[in-house]
Amino acid sequence: MMQAFPLFLSLKGRRALVVGGTDQAARKIELLLSAGAQVSLIAETVTGEVAQLIADGRVTWVGGDFSEDGLTGVCLVIVACDDEPLQARVSQAAQVRCVPVNVVDNAALSSCMMPAVVDRGPVTVAISTGGTAPALARKVRAEIERALPAALGRLALFADIFREQVRRTLREPRARRRFWDRVFDGRIGALAIAGDEISARRELIRLLDGARTEDAPTGVVHLVGAGPGDPDLLTLKAHRLLQRADVIVYDRLVSPEVLALARRDAERIYVGKRRALHRLSQDEINRRLIALAQAGHKVVRLKGGDPLVFGRGGEEIEALARAGVTVEVVPGITAALGCAASAGIPLTHRDHAQSCVFVTGHPKDGEMVLDWPMLARPRQTVVIYMGLETLPVVTRQLLRHGLPAATPVALIENGTTEQERRVVGTLATIEQQAMRSKLYGPTLCMIGEVVGLALSRDKEIRFESRVGL
């Protein structure tokens, strides 16, 4: 959740007031001047840097006393002094007049934050931590500084030359977006950044002429694995497609943090299913995907985990192929791998588990039909997806087919996320422990000696709860 709403304020030719004459005030004044502001200063004494700005006529010093009348015509106030009563007085006066005010290093008295800035004029990137960790904002700024070409502003200025011409030529917003993607990602963008504007103009005009006569775009569906929940586990290709999709079709197992990585203006369609509550049938989802692709959209069908591991991805591929729709699969980290890594449980082990079996605990037509004798074999790990609802059936059948009652079992709810909870027990006890823990979210069940191995190896792995029960 955002701590503050990000907004760029135009200061060109407008008045800004700085209270304080310290070196810290000098840094803020320089930023304001670079944005074209007319800066007035209130301070009893000033440092050498501030004094030089005054002597150069770049700042107007209006004395050392603050009064509310001094806020008339001011669009921004920055307080950079150590006088706490003065800080509070200026902050209150500014906020009563609805004038944005920033008190340096005092978020409680500030109605706006001064971000860490990456300036590639006219491209500006601002980073804020809501006043909680300015040093972290500076670290992020340094990372972005390294990532963005120093001449990126050339590309923005170059695009501005052709913006209106492109808008008149390509009336449909999606067509313009695709065009600019090709400009920025390809040779034209590279030429503009390198300063070869003549060649870049020639290439862009040629590309625009071709785009004018292009046929309607052909739609495509990407089946993308969203991983088990942690957004850092998303693949680079999945992230790139999320940034380029026209439409994102997603389900309940996709975490909000992963969905937040999508392009903000993409249409989002929720087709999630909850236990015993299906929003859309699989046939309806298939028809929706086909219709979107046939309308020329780039569609990302975002699925929790991996789309081809208990995600009905195979059914969607078949339906799309029958309709003649191009489909691409982008794998994701399936829940078994993500949850095992998060909990420190090895799925295989030379001494304890020579195989690993993935099965679904979701019954078909109300009946759970599995190869129970195979699942009850020793020296293997059994991972059951969506196994919470059918846990009583699983434990009863495995015990009946010879698996020892003392076999370790781990239940991992919302694995890899901040909401992750873990409950450990045995085949004989896990059902009651799950009931006491009141698990509700997506839960993975892991059965085998490797669960006990992880617990005995590392006493810090507590399978009671990651967040407290």
Catalytic residues: 251, 273
Between the alpha carbon of residue 172 and those of residues 119, 159, 216, 435, the distances in Å are 32, 18, 11, 54
Strands 59-61 and 38-42, bridge-based pairing: parallel
Please report the sign of the dihedral spanned by the C-alpha atoms of residue 439, residue 445, residue 449, residue 451: negative
Phi, psi of 53 (to 5 degrees): -60, -40
> How many other CB atoms are there within 10 angstroms of residue 102's CB atom?
22
Residue type, 373: P
Instruction: Give dist(CA 434, CA 411) in Å, integer.
Output: 8
Instruction: Give dist(CA 269, CA 293) in Å, integer.
Output: 14
Spatial contact of 304 and 335, defined as CB atoms under 8 Å apart: yes
Spatial contact of 249 and 285, defined as CB atoms under 8 Å apart: yes
Sheet holding 380-385, edge to edge: 355-360, 380-385, 443-447, 408-413, 421-426
Instruction: Give dist(CA 441, CA 415) in Å, integer.
Output: 10
